[in-house]
Amino acid sequence: MEPIQGIGVWICDCGGTLADRLHVEAILRALGDLPEVAWVKRHTALCQPAGLEAWKTAVGGRAVDGVVIGACSPALHEETFRAASKEAGLNPYVLAIANIREQCAWVHSDPAVATEKAVHLIRRALHRATLQEPVEQREIPVEERVLVIGGGLAGLEATCALVQLGRPVTLIEREDRLGGHLNEISYLYEDATSPGEWVASREQTIRNHPDVEIWTQTEIADLKGHVGHFKATLKGKHGQRKQHFGAIIVATGFHVVSPLLEWDGSEKVTTLLGLQRMVDLPGRIGIVLDGSGGDPAVITGSALRTAMRIRERFGSEVCLLCQNMRVCTDDVEKLYGQAQDRGVLLFKYEEKPQFTVGDEGVECTFSDVLLRSEIRLNVDLVAFSEQIGPSLGTEGLADMLDLHLGPKGYVQDDEVWVLPVRSNRRGIFLAGGCREPADTLSVLMDARAAAEQADQVLSGGKLALDRNKAIIDPDKCVFCLTCIRTCPVGAIRPDYTQEGAAEIVEEACEACGICAAECPAKAIQLTGFTDEQMLAEMAFV
Amino acid sequence: MSASDKRAYTPKIVTFCCMHSGYRAADLAGYERLSYPEGLRVIRVPCSGKVDALYILKAFERGADGVLILACNDDNCQFVYGNQRARRRVEYVRGTLKEIGLQPERVEIRNLSALDGEKFIGYVNELFERVETLGPVDQDRT
């Protein structure tokens, strides 16, 4: 590394608002004499266009090696300043921010205390900046093609969206025809078209498209590689083939479990899906939401919509029995009100109702906790809600793709940081029911979002790699595989050339630093957060 | 320790804050103009799983009286299980501290979200109170 010429220091007083809580002039004086400081400047709004212009003029021409900014939290403007640095021709990563607003001016009422702490934080940042290695800026070419796994609602929609974005797609489906669950239901709630028409229209768009390959009865058998250059082995009735992809969208959907029916075979008992398929319905219908499996809101929504539709279409009397009404998804709460307005009778039970199936119909007896009385209902037909679980084979797929499974066995936790469509691996996106049970509209939105993100990752045919990342020193690596085991994003692979060492795939690394902390040989450092830099941060005055 | 020493003792705490939760919560505490003792040093890490056992021990060596690790809530770590790894390391470091005769409760790990400004203050004050009772770290031991 070249010797550091000096660091430029900016102090921003946030439109003058920090001036009453901090002695800015004192800070400037305290820093001016430090040997590592090239100059100290003050600005009132560095994040504004004028500030950024002043910034570029001051740091332009590589007059300094790096910059330290005493300003607001790095969570706010770190990226803004990095971009400005880059434009001025400086390595954007030789930059450290001291948070003198949120951590000094705003939390300490005594300006003397806040000032002293601000100087300390800025010195700490200076130390960190001098220890920063410039991050090399480079780009790698990526594969154009996207692999979509699953040809149901989500997979078809994602494929269409990708085609619209001008991206070549390979769609694989393990069944012999496209459509997934759409082949089992008789109407789409949010759409006037029938599921069959919907599938046909999507198929028409993609079937003869020159950029789309569709393989039915095909599954993924192996996956190697990382974002931009996944190498997949596809296996199916057309044989086995290897293909390269830039990104992957998993759209394997969910699995519908039919409720176990004691009265299997009876015409008086059916399932919710069975009820939707019926073309002629008797006068009184009972729908039972079986809360034992923790009905997701999508089932509740489906039951409410079915109930309303039956009332509209056949004029039947519909009683909906539920333990708990889960309405925590788009519009289901509204549906609940609408269903009541349209005369759907809602009952709430605590203990599982008793059903007696006779020739005339079904008698349901239960105790309603709101009416506080025993209810006996006679209906001509009773339908039990299905239960929804992860698609069969999800576990194996997750294992192959190195995806993290949530507690319920879907390919994503209820994970706020990666919601809605990102997975723990860069370049692999999740759409629809494979990540959580979802209704048609959410699945479609998911699919479009996943397509857009996949397209974005590969945009321009290049992947920029100018970020902080973990770096392995192969001389120190003892090849214990700890990092490979602990990397949450599957970015580390064994490199068997020479004596064997772990190798970090730069484009897949998310710079979390877990490997660096776990490595027993201290062979891994995370740029921007190296051990040296972290220790510098810990110095007390 | 004499009474006069006790009065002069202002504890220092290092808190390693995950930039996705703890650090933002600390920022939020600032936005809300909540205040915390001046002896707190916030260190930003990309994930609580980045906090090496060594860093915690080094913090004590550099004069900290307590170390607080602020991680994302369970099942909400951006890096899947970084928060769980941090928790395991805290357990490990507590064992080490015990061996060298330092109170293991000087190290604490807490989970919070980016919106938990008040919780941040709560956890910080909790540890400050604790180390105040425990007294300063006997530097001969570090």
- Residue-wise pLDDT for A151-192, tens only, equals 999 999 999 999 999 999 999 999 999 999 888 887 776 566
Per-residue confidence (pLDDT) for residue A274, from 0 to 100: 85
Cβ <8 Å between B75 and A413:
yes
Per-residue confidence (pLDDT) for residue A76, from 0 to 100: 92
Cβ <8 Å between A513 and B49:
yes
Per-residue confidence (pLDDT) for residue A417, from 0 to 100: 66
Cβ <8 Å between B49 and A512:
yes
Q: Write the pLDDT tens digit of every residue in A443-469.
A: 999 999 999 999 999 999 999 887 889
Residues 6+ apart with CB under 8 A from A174: A150, A217, A218, A219, A236
Q: Write the pLDDT tens digit of every residue in B71-130.
A: 999 888 889 889 999 999 999 999 999 999 999 999 999 999 999 999 999 999 999 999
Residues 6+ apart with CB under 8 A from A294: none
Cβ <8 Å between B55 and A404:
no
Q: How many CB atoms lie within 10 A of CB A433?
A: 29
For chains A and B, what is the number of CB pairs under 8 angstroms?
Answer: 120
Confidence of residue B142 (pLDDT cuts 50, 70, 90): low
Per-residue confidence (pLDDT) for residue B2, from 0 to 100: 44
Nearest to A537 by CA among A76, A98, A11, A85: A98
Q: Write the pLDDT tens digit of every residue in A87-99.
A: 888 888 889 999 9
Per-residue confidence (pLDDT) for residue B8, from 0 to 100: 66
* DSSP-derived 3-state class of residue A239: strand
Does the pLDDT at position A358 exceed 90?
no
Strand partners of residue A272: none
A244: closest CA of chain B, how far (Å): 26
Q: How many CB atoms lie within 10 A of CB A461?
A: 12
B108: closest CA of chain A, how far (Å): 17
Per-residue confidence (pLDDT) for residue A538, from 0 to 100: 86
**What's the whole-number mean pLDDT along residues A376-387?**
90
B20 interface with A at CB cutoff 8 Å: yes
Q: Distances in Å between the alpha carbon of A35 and those of A30, A68, B88?
A: 12, 14, 41
- Residue from the list B12, B49, B77 with its beta carbon closest to the beta carbon of A517: B49
Cβ <8 Å between B79 and A512:
yes
- Residue from the list A75, A413, A534 with its beta carbon closest to the beta carbon of B27: A75
Per-residue confidence (pLDDT) for residue A5, from 0 to 100: 73
Per-residue confidence (pLDDT) for residue B1, from 0 to 100: 44
B62 interface with A at CB cutoff 8 Å: yes
Per-residue confidence (pLDDT) for residue A416, from 0 to 100: 66
- Report which listed range, A323-337, A352-366, A489-503, A507-521, is most confident: A507-521
Q: Considering only CB atoms, which chain B residues are within 8 Å of A535?
A: 55, 58, 62
Give the amino acid at A397.
L
Beta strand A470-472 pairing with A524-526: antiparallel
Cβ <8 Å between B75 and A407:
yes
Q: Write the pLDDT tens digit of every residue in A388-444.
A: 889 999 999 999 999 988 888 888 766 666 668 999 899 999 999 898 888 888 899
Task: Kindly list the residues of chain A whose beta carbon comes within 8 Å of any beta carbon in chain B.
Answer: 73-75, 99, 101-103, 106-109, 113, 117, 404, 406-407, 413-418, 424, 468, 486, 488-489, 510-514, 516-518, 526, 529, 531, 534-535, 537-540
Cβ <8 Å between B75 and A535:
no
Cβ <8 Å between A529 and B45:
yes
- Residue from the list A418, A513, A539 with its beta carbon closest to the beta carbon of B50: A513
Cβ <8 Å between A540 and B12:
yes
Cβ <8 Å between B12 and A415:
no
Task: Judge whether A78 and A128 are in contact, CB under 8 Å.
Answer: no
Q: Considering only CB atoms, which chain A residues are within 8 Å of B55?
A: 534-535, 538
Per-residue confidence (pLDDT) for residue A175, from 0 to 100: 93
State the complex-level ipTM.
Answer: 0.91
Percent of chain A with pLDDT strictly greater than 90: 54
Per-residue confidence (pLDDT) for residue A379, from 0 to 100: 93
Which residue does chain A place closest to B53, by CA atoms? A517
Cβ <8 Å between A75 and B59:
no
B31 interface with A at CB cutoff 8 Å: yes
Does the pLDDT at position A214 exceed 90?
yes
Strands in A48-144 per DSSP E: 66-71, 95-99, 139-141
- Residue from the list B55, B59, B85 with its beta carbon closest to the beta carbon of A486: B85
Does the pLDDT at position A3 exceed 60?
no
B38: closest CA of chain A, how far (Å): 7
Task: Judge whether A472 and A498 are in contact, CB under 8 Å.
Answer: no
**What's the whole-number mean pLDDT along residues A261-272?**
79
Strand partners of residue A216: A173
Does the pLDDT at position A117 exceed 50?
yes
The 3-state secondary structure of A62-76 reads HCCCEEEEEECCHHH
Tokens of A17: 């608002």
Task: Judge whether B92 and B53 are in contact, CB under 8 Å.
Answer: yes
Q: Rounded to the nearest 10 degrees, what angle do helices A297-314 and A332-341 cross at?
A: 30
**What's the whole-number mean pLDDT along residues A342-356?**
90
Cβ <8 Å between A103 and B82:
no
Q: Write the pLDDT tens digit of every residue in A277-329.
A: 887 888 899 998 876 655 677 888 888 988 998 898 888 999 999 988 877 77
Residues 6+ apart with CB under 8 A from A280: A314
B55 interface with A at CB cutoff 8 Å: yes
- Residue from the list B30, B36, B49 with its beta carbon closest to the beta carbon of A514: B49
Q: Rounded to the nearest 10 degrees, what angle do helices A74-87 and A49-59 cross at?
A: 50
Per-residue confidence (pLDDT) for residue A1, from 0 to 100: 42
pTM confidence score: 0.85
Percent of chain A with pLDDT strictly greater than 70: 95
Cβ <8 Å between A103 and B30:
yes
**For chain A, what is the mean pLDDT?**
88
